[in-house]
């Protein structure tokens, strides 16, 4: 592209503003629509105007655009890739010391920040397509700001986006300069399906082929871009298109990240005949594919989410947001007016979210936090996040890193953690692969890792014939569900993943084929990290140890031999899945721990993909996580407290040995706990005890100046603990009198104040002595017959005269005729009537 051709790109309308802004301010936000040319031209503007003497780093969310953009900019600068313009993605670095513009994926720059905290050879960092909100772009931007604010105030930071909500970003980067380009986009006519498609009856690729046949019968010009969620859907779509007599004459090409570079390049060049590209969302942003006038959008993408059951990030096929759909439709309006067909209805479109949830809100943070620790980040909580993750997600990730041995007790990264951080996979799999390299079983562990990432290849079936064929051809393993699945996968592999052959025994052929690709992916990672990938030491023990090292936080112990009920590390309980072939053995590790909700609102934890482990392996692999404790336990049969030696792996009890008498204090504590939780009722905690407690609480609440503390749960626990001292069985403590113990617990000063201000008995004005009834939360009262109240003309008060005593006035029959606090009012207003009524019934009693 010549100089004049570049200058007609829409982004050049902001060139002057950009140069002025970067001359005065080190932070700039560029908002420009797709197709404006910002990805290729902005770094060249910095070079042309002398704003970057050293190197410019352009951060890209995906590998394919990283390579393609470098190739394009190198062409425009009359250079070859690797000289003035280069790129670096995982396992491939096409750059040199002469490189001025370097396109990199997000993880690459973060790792460079670990090695070179000052970024001494970098003048500017450009964050392209920031609206995609990948977690590594968030972290890298935060780290770049830290560097700029401390040791590199001259570092230029440019954030570019087409659809991001700019307001929040402006506030985060302040002070910064916002520059907008209106761009130039040709009109794109958007159309939808008339009615919703039943995905159970109509395959996506068949629907796409049918609709494209209809479009091509009217559209004679331009190339076609079809968006599919993954490589499998792409291959099925290409197959369907090539089977169409209307379409087969076109040049039909795939485009996705894992394609070899030469096949990726093939999708970008022009052909003499109409070109149809079937792509994932790698074609959604950054790349301009010339000649596209028709877009068919499946509306689906593989999006990373945290799978809490397996404790890993998993790609799930989901509906894209409205913002992503707009990005995709814009591909048809880059060089000419175009058309976009969305394979969903307009009403379905309105129900879609406005934009995708940022990765930081939906994926596991352990891999990211490990990279941050490796880069020297000491305090994750105080890191300048653009949008901080929730605290629970951070805590979960840090706990997992500690379980894997990647960080120590103080949160600092360990030598093993530094080793794990070099692997471009989840830390669980990095730990498994490192161990597998030592044991000589990488192919087997790569297969295990692949199977944990996909759905179960064995289908649930009630078909008796299918079950019988499966039992004959696929051997179950009592030691590991993975060995059972490996046997099933080997069968599918021998059948070349044939659909009908796999269906006969209930194997999901498509998943089995995907597992094969993932296994190869893990083996290649191990090779690139210098591990020995020969299968020289594979056995049940070595495979199980590797699984254990990756999933030590999923170690479980059966509650009883033969039971499916298990206790797990981190104080959890669950049930081993019914379909598990691991039917015996106490200790196991489950790679899938999922919580299943019920209609009642309760939930059940189910353990799947289980493998038996041995206690000696735990001691061998995690020596510092083993502890022995001597504790008092209550024997449910004898109801006695006995001594128990417990061996724990972290907080999971994996062995118990009972016998001997525990320490008296430990026995008392356990018995007290049984009483306080309501499992045991003390006969001695009677009405007299409750009276005394109520008296204490009355004075504490009514007379705070006396400084008496209320008798609450803590005080009750203290008294009951005293009652339990010396006892070793429930029978010993159950009939103990509590009142003497409670009185002994009270101080003499408390007794004095209690007898003075909340007396057990009071003397009335007529000389009668009467018992006061106390109850916590209720008014104190006395009960007397009318005859015994003659001469009591005033109301009665206690507690420094702050609390009136309620008087239950009784007839000679002991039945109440009046309840009052107002004695003068009673004699004046009520007694004459009551006397008249009762005197007829009880003429022998005294009536004044």
Q: State the pairing for strand pair 652-658/641-649.
A: antiparallel
Q: Examine the pLDDT at 48 and tell me if it is beyond 80.
A: yes
Q: What is the mean pLDDT of residues 687-693?
A: 92
Q: What is the mean pLDDT of residues 599-628?
A: 84
H-assigned helices in 647-686: 664-676
CA gap 210, 263 in Å, rounded = 26
Q: State the pairing for strand pair 555-558/565-568.
A: antiparallel
Asked if 615 contacts 655 with a C-beta cutoff of 8 angstroms, the reply is: yes
Q: Examine the pLDDT at 283 and tell me if it is beyond 90.
A: no
Question: Which among 344, 352, 336 is positioned nearest to 289, based on CA atoms?
Answer: 336
pLDDT of residue 26: 80
pLDDT of residue 312: 55
Confidence of residue 110 (pLDDT cuts 50, 70, 90): confident
| 776 DSSP assignment | T
Q: Examine the pLDDT at 669 and tell me if it is beyond 80.
A: yes
Q: State the pairing for strand pair 797-798/803-804.
A: antiparallel
- 805 or 184: which carries more pLDDT confidence? 805
DSSP three-state, residue 773: strand
Asked if 20 contacts 51 with a C-beta cutoff of 8 angstroms, the reply is: no
H-assigned helices in 77-164: 106-115, 135-150
Q: Examine the pLDDT at 115 and tell me if it is beyond 80.
A: no
Q: State the pairing for strand pair 587-597/555-558.
A: antiparallel
Which DSSP helix (H) or strand (E) runs through 265?
A: helix 261-268
Confidence of residue 305 (pLDDT cuts 50, 70, 90): low
CA gap 268, 64 in Å, rounded = 11
H-assigned helices in 529-610: 540-550
DSSP three-state, residue 190: strand
| Phi–psi pair at 381, nearest 5 degrees | -65, -35
Q: Examine the pLDDT at 208 and tell me if it is beyond 90.
A: yes
Using CA atoms, how far residue 669 sits from 10, 571, 724, 726, 727, in Å, is 77, 21, 8, 11, 10
Asked if 285 contacts 328 with a C-beta cutoff of 8 angstroms, the reply is: no
| 182 DSSP assignment | -
| Phi–psi pair at 88, nearest 5 degrees | -145, 125
pLDDT of residue 600: 44
Which residues are within 8 A (CB) of 461 and not within 5 positions of it... i.e. 6 or more apart?
467, 470, 506
| Phi–psi pair at 99, nearest 5 degrees | -65, 125
- The tens digit of pLDDT for each residue in 375-424 reads 888 788 889 999 889 888 888 899 999 999 999 988 889 999 999 988 88
pLDDT of residue 660: 72
Asked if 758 contacts 701 with a C-beta cutoff of 8 angstroms, the reply is: no
Using CA atoms, how far residue 269 sits from 3, 65, 228, 552, in Å, is 22, 15, 20, 50
Which residues are within 8 A (CB) of 80 and not within 5 positions of it... i.e. 6 or more apart?
74
HSE-CB of 101 using CA atoms within 13 angstroms: 31
Asked if 36 contacts 183 with a C-beta cutoff of 8 angstroms, the reply is: yes
pLDDT of residue 4: 47
Instruction: State the residue for tokens 């100046």.
Output: 705
Question: Which among 150, 114, 1, 119 is positioned nearest to 56, based on CA atoms?
Answer: 119
Token pair of 500, please?
Answer: 């009908």
pLDDT above 90 as % of the chain: 48
Provide the mean pLDDT of the chain. 88
CA gap 705, 684 in Å, rounded = 32
Asked if 798 contacts 772 with a C-beta cutoff of 8 angstroms, the reply is: yes
DSSP symbols for 636-648? TTT-BEEEEEEEE
Q: Examine the pLDDT at 621 and tell me if it is beyond 90.
A: yes
- The tens digit of pLDDT for each residue in 703-717 reads 999 999 999 988 998
| Phi–psi pair at 528, nearest 5 degrees | -65, -25
DSSP symbols for 463-486? -HHHHHHHHHHS---SSBHHHHHH
CA gap 33, 31 in Å, rounded = 7
Q: What is the mean pLDDT of residues 421-428?
A: 87
**pTM, entire model:** 0.70
- 454 or 571: which carries more pLDDT confidence? 571
Q: What is the mean pLDDT of residues 130-142?
A: 88
Confidence of residue 33 (pLDDT cuts 50, 70, 90): confident
pLDDT of residue 777: 83
Asked if 219 contacts 244 with a C-beta cutoff of 8 angstroms, the reply is: no
CA gap 73, 1 in Å, rounded = 9
Token pair of 165, please?
Answer: 């909500």
The distance between the two most distant Cα atoms of the chain, rounded to a whole number of Å, is: 128
Q: Examine the pLDDT at 1 and tell me if it is beyond 60.
A: no
Q: Using only C-alpha atoms, what is the Rg of the chain?
A: 39
Question: Which among 439, 470, 444, 445 is positioned nearest to 457, based on CA atoms?
Answer: 470
Q: Is the peptide bond before 140 cis (omega within 30 degrees of 0)?
A: no
pLDDT of residue 598: 45
CA gap 509, 515 in Å, rounded = 10
CA 371 vs. chain centroid, Å, equals 18
Token pair of 433, please?
Answer: 């692969």
CA gap 827, 114 in Å, rounded = 91
Phi-psi region of 26 (alpha: psi -120 to 50; beta: other; left: phi over 0): alpha
Q: Examine the pLDDT at 601 and tell me if it is beyond 70.
A: no
Question: Which among 321, 422, 357 is positioned nearest to 134, based on CA atoms?
Answer: 357
pLDDT of residue 355: 82
| Phi–psi pair at 315, nearest 5 degrees | -85, 120
Question: Which among 398, 367, 420 is positioned nearest to 136, based on CA atoms?
Answer: 367
CA gap 548, 439 in Å, rounded = 13
pLDDT of residue 6: 54
Question: Which among 584, 469, 578 is positioned nearest to 488, based on CA atoms?
Answer: 469
Question: Which among 742, 783, 744 is positioned nearest to 762, based on CA atoms?
Answer: 783
Q: State the pairing for strand pair 122-127/55-60.
A: parallel
Confidence of residue 599 (pLDDT cuts 50, 70, 90): very low
DSSP three-state, residue 194: coil
Confidence of residue 80 (pLDDT cuts 50, 70, 90): very high
Token pair of 519, please?
Answer: 């296994």
pLDDT above 70 as % of the chain: 96
Which DSSP helix (H) or strand (E) runs through 105?
A: strand 101-105
pLDDT of residue 187: 86
């Amino acid at each position: 592209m010549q100089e004049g051709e570049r200058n007609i790109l829409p982004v050049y309308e902001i060139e002057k503003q950009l140069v002025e802004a970067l001359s005065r301010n080190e932070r700039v936000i560029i908002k420009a629509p797709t197709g404006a040319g910002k990805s290729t031209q902005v770094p060249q503007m910095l070079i042309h105007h002398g704003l970057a003497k050293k190197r410019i780093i352009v951060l890209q969310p995906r590998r394919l655009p990283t390579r393609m953009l470098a190739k394009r900019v190198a062409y425009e600068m009359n250079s070859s890739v690797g000289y003035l313009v280069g790129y670096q993605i995982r396992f491939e670095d096409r750059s040199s010391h002469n490189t001025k513009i370097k396109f990199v994926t997000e993880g690459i720059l973060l790792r460079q920040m670990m090695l070179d905290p000052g970024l001494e050879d970098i003048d500017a960092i450009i964050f392209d397509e920031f609206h995609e909100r990948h977690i590594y772009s968030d972290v890298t931007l935060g780290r770049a700001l830290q560097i700029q604010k401390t040791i590199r105030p001259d570092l230029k930071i440019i954030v570019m986006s087409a659809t991001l909500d700019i307001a929040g970003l402006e506030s985060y980067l302040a002070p910064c300069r916002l520059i907008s380009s209106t761009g130039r986009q040709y009109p794109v006519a958007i159309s939808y399906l008339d009615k919703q498609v039943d995905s159970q009856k109509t395959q996506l690729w068949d629907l796409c082929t049918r609709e494209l046949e209809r479009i091509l019968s009217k559209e004679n010009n331009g190339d076609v871009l079809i968006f599919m969620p993954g490589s499998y859907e792409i291959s099925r779509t290409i197959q369907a298109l090539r089977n169409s007599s209307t379409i087969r004459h076109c040049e039909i090409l795939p485009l996705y990240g894992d394609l070899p570079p030469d096949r990726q390049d093939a999708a970008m060049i022009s052909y003499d005949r109409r070109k149809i590209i079937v792509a994932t969302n790698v074609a959604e942003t950054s790349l301009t594919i010339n000649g596209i006038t028709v877009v068919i959008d499946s509306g689906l993408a593989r999006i990373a989410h945290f799978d809490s059951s397996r404790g890993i990030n998993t790609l799930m096929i989901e509906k894209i947001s409205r913002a992503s759909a707009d990005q995709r439709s814009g591909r048809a309006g880059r060089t000419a007016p175009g058309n976009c067909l969305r394979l969903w209805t307009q009403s379905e479109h309105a129900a879609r979210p406005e934009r995708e949830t940022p990765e930081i809100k939906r994926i596991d943070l352990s891999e990211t936090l490990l990279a941050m620790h490796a880069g020297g980040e000491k305090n994750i909580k105080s890191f300048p996040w653009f949008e901080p993750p929730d605290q629970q997600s951070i805590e979960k990730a840090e706990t997992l890193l500690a379980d894997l041995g990647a960080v120590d007790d103080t949160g600092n990264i360990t030598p093993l953690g530094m080793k794990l951080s070099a692997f471009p996979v989840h830390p669980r799999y990095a730990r498994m692969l490192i161990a597998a390299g030592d044991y000589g079983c990488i192919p087997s562990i790569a297969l295990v890792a692949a199977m944990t990432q996909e759905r179960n290849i064995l289908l649930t079936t009630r078909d008796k014939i299918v079950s019988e064929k499966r039992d004959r051809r696929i051997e179950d393993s009592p030691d590991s569900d993975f060995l059972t699945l490996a046997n099933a996968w080997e069968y599918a592999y021998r059948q070349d993943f044939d659909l009908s052959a796999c269906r006969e025994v209930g194997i999901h052929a498509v998943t089995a084929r995907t597992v094969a690709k993932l296994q190869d992916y893990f083996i290649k990672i191990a090779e690139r990290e210098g591990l020995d990938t020969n299968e020289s030491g594979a056995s049940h023990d070595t495979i199980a140890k590797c699984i254990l090292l990756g999933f030590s936080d999923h170690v479980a112990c059966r509650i009883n031999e033969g039971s499916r009920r298990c206790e797990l590390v981190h104080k959890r309980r669950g049930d081993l899945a019914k379909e598990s072939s691991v039917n015996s053995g106490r200790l196991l590790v489950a790679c899938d721990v999922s919580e299943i909700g019920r209609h009642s609102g309760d939930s059940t934890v189910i353990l799947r993909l289980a493998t038996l482990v041995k206690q000696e392996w735990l001691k061998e692999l995690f020596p510092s996580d083993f502890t022995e404790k001597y504790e008092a336990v209550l024997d449910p049969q004898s109801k006695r407290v006995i001594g128990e030696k417990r061996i724990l792996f972290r907080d999971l009890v994996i062995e118990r040995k009972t016998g001997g008498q525990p320490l008296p204090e430990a026995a008392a504590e356990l018995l007290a706990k049984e009483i306080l939780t309501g499992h045991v009722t003390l006969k001695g905690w009677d009405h007299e005890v409750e009276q005394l407690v109520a008296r204490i609480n009355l004075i504490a609440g009514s007379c705070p100046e006396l400084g008496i503390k209320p008798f609450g749960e803590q005080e009750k626990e203290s008294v009951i603990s005293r009652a339990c001292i010396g006892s070793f069985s429930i029978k010993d403590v159950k009939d103990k009198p509590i009142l003497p113990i409670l009185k002994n617990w009270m101080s003499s000063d408390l007794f004095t104040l209690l007898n003075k201000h909340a007396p057990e008995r009071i003397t009335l004005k007529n000389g009668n002595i009467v018992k006061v009834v106390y109850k916590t939360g209720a008014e104190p009262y006395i009960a007397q017959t009318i005859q015994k109240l003659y001469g009591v003309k005033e109301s009665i008060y206690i507690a420094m005269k702050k609390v009136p005593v309620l008087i239950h006035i009784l007839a000679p029959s002991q039945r109440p005729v009046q309840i009052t606090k107002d004695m003068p009012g009673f004699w004046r207003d009520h007694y004459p009537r009551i006397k008249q009524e009762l005197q007829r019934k009880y003429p022998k009693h005294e009536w004044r």
